Amino acid sequence: MKEKLNRYFPNLPESWMLILLLTLAGSILGALVNIAISSLYPSASAWTEIISYPVIFIPPAIYIYFKNPSLSNDIDGQQTTLPLNAPNFGTIGALYSFILILPLVFAFNYITEPLTSWMEIPPFFEEFLKQVQENKISSFISIVIFAPILEELFCRGIILRGLLKHISPAKAIVWSALMFGIMHLNPWQAIPAFLLGLLMGWIYWKTHSLWSVIFIHFVNNGFSYLITTMYPQLPSDTGFADIIPGSYYYIFFAVSLIYTAITLYLMNKYYDKPISFEI
C-alpha cells in the first residue's frame, strides 16, 4: 500500500471522489459502527469514537487500493514515485522551522478569527463539546492524535500532493483547503478549516514535510481540546476577543499579524524552491 501511495497522484475529479467517499460512505460506515458498538457493548459507548472515527477513512482507502496508478505516469512514460513525506526545510532547517511554526499557529488563528466570529455555533456541535468534556481520554485520542495524522495524510499527503502534479500550486492549495473545509460538514468549522488548510497546504508545498502539517494540526486541535476540557464554564463560541480585554486585543492582533507576515516571508525566502509537479 505504501508503494501504491507513492505512485498515486489524484487529479481534481479523483480528489472530489475521495472527499465524497469520506463524507458520505465514510460517515455512514462510522455511524453504523457507532450504533453496533453502543448496542452490543453499552459499557464501551464512551470509547466508540476511537473506533468509529478512523473507520470513516476506509471507503477512500479502498478506492485508492483498487485504483490503477498508471494515470500517474510522467510525460516520458516513466512512472513517478514520490514519498508522501520527503521533508526539505532549506537553510532554515527542521528545528527552527518547528520553533517558528508553534507560535505561528496561534498568531494565524488570532488574525483570522474575526472572519468567522460572527457565526453561530451549530447546536449539534455544542453537544459534541459536551461529549468531549465527559469522555476526555477517548476525545483526546480522536481529536488530538488521530485527526492530525489521518486528516493530514489524506488531505495534504494524498490529495494536495496529487493536485500539485496536475494543476498549478496556487490552485492545488486552494482546492485542497476547500476540500478540507467541506470535510467538516458545517460552516462554523469549515471556514476556519479552509483558512488553516491554506496555511498547511502552502507549508506542505514548500517543505513537502507531512510531519510539519501534522504538527500544525496537532497544536491547533490540542489547544482547542485543552480550552474545552479545562474551562467547561466558557461558552462554546468564546473567542480571543472575549477573553483579552480592551486595547490589549488590538495590540496582540498587531503583534500576531506582524509575526505571521515575517514568518511566512522567511519561510518563502529560505526554504528551497519546491519541485514543480505541474504538467
Cα–Cα distance for residue pair 234/236, rounded to 1 Å = 6
DSSP code, position 66: H
For 105-163, write each residue's pLDDT tens digit: 999 999 999 988 788 888 888 888 888 888 889 999 999 999 999 999 999 999 999 99
| All cell numbers assigned to 176 | 485542497
The dihedral through the CA atoms of 153, 197, 94, 107 has a sign that is negative
pLDDT at 145: 96
In this predicted structure, the answer to whether residue 238 has a pLDDT above a threshold of 90 is no
Other C-beta atoms closer than 10 Å to the C-beta of 75 total 6
For 151-165, write each residue's pLDDT tens digit: 999 999 999 999 999
**What's the predicted TM-score (pTM) here?**
0.92
Yes or no: say if 176 and 163 are a contact pair by the CB < 8 Å rule: yes
For 62-72, write each residue's pLDDT tens digit: 999 888 655 54
DSSP code, position 234: S
For 178-187, write each residue's pLDDT tens digit: 999 999 888 8
